[in-house]
């Protein structure tokens, strides 16, 4: 089941994959956060689910798993904007998962408020989004974040113990941008496609190994391709 389910390129990104640097740290951070959830059974809502790429990792602890997306698709159970989850009662869900969707919504504050509303007391929101990444519509792309901006967004919605985890670091973020444009050069100018087999895999190997040193060198100016927010609703 795990191997056949879509999104293997997100769960197990490989050096050389086009978006390796944007996905490798995120996959690691999600795996860790899922392991912290406890045994379940949990009622899970995946907001902006796409193909529900992380469902295989939650299968053992999910009692129910509802995929919500603004656009229909074979893995979408409910078509709805993330800002309006009217079909879910307040306090009816244990885990709201939302990966790489917040940058695409019109109102992030309303999305986070809806996640807060539908979660049970002590429920968990796991939400990932971009710190640094080139514009990519799907169909829109509105927002980028800092760790403090995300923390504030969730605290203002009434979450507590809001932890914002960078999924990678400065080297991955900076070299990831170089990598993105080096790779994309080949789209228009085929003569540069050799970069895809040289510079691209090299940066995929090197950048994550440099993150710890870059973080130490530039301590006061952190940067990450993605952040993962781990936030809980207050217990009664």
The site map against ligand SAM for 155-174 (x = CB under 6 A) is --------------------
* CA-closest candidate to residue 153, choices 132, 182, 129: 129
| Residue 48 lies near ligand SAM (rule: CB under 6 A) | yes
The whole-angstrom separation of Cα 230 and Cα 210 is 25
Give kind and range of the element (H or E) at residue 15: none
CB nearer to ligand SAM: give 38 or 139.
139
Residue nearest to ligand SAM according to CB distances in the complex: 50
The minimum distance between CB 212 and ligand SAM, in angstroms, equals 26
Q: How far is the CB of 235 from ligand SAM (least distance, A)?
A: 28
Q: Answer yes or no whether residue 175 interacts with ligand SAM by CB under 6 A.
A: no
Candidates 70, 88, 164, 223; binder of ligand SAM (CB under 6 A) is: 70
The least distance separating ligand SAM from the CB of residue 104, rounded to whole angstroms, comes to 4
DSSP summary character for residue 140: -
Size of the site for ligand SAM (CB under 6 A): 16
Q: Which pairs count as long-range contacts for 179-186, CB under 8 Å and 24+ apart, including other chains? A: 179/21, 179/203, 179/204, 179/207, 180/133, 180/134, 181/134, 183/18
13 belongs to the binding site for ligand SAM (CB under 6 A): no
Which pair of structure tokens corresponds to residue 154? 């969730």
Point out which residues bind ligand SAM (CB under 6 A): 10, 48-50, 53, 69-71, 81-82, 99-101, 104-105, 138
């Amino acid at each position: 089941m795990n191997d056949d389910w879509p999104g293997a390129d997100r769960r197990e990104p490989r050096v050389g994959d086009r978006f390796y640097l944007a996905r490798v740290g995120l996959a690691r951070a999600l795996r860790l956060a899922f392991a912290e959830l406890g045994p379940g059974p949990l009622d899970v809502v995946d907001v902006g689910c796409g193909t529900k790429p992380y469902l295989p990792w939650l299968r053992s602890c999910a009692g129910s798993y509802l995929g919500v997306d603004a656009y229909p698709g074979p893995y979408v159970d409910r078509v709805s904007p993330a800002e309006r989850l009217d079909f879910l009662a307040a306090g009816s869900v244990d885990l709201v998962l939302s990966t790489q969707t917040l940058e695409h919504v019109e109102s992030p504050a309303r999305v986070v408020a809806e996640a807060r509303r539908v979660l049970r007391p002590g429920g968990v929101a796991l939400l990932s989004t971009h710190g640094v990444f080139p514009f990519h519509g799907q169909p829109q792309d509105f927002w980028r974040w800092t760790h403090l901006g995300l923390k504030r967004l969730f605290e203002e919605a009434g979450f507590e113990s809001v932890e914002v985890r960078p999924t990678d670091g400065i080297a991955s973020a900076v070299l990831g941008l170089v990598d993105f444009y080096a790779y994309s050069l080949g789209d228009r100018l085929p003569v540069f496609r050799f970069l895809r087999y040289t510079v691209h895999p090299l940066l995929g190997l090197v950048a994550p190994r440099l993150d710890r040193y870059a973080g130490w060198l530039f301590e006061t100016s952190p940067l990450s391709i993605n952040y993962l927010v781990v936030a809980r609703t207050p217990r009664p």
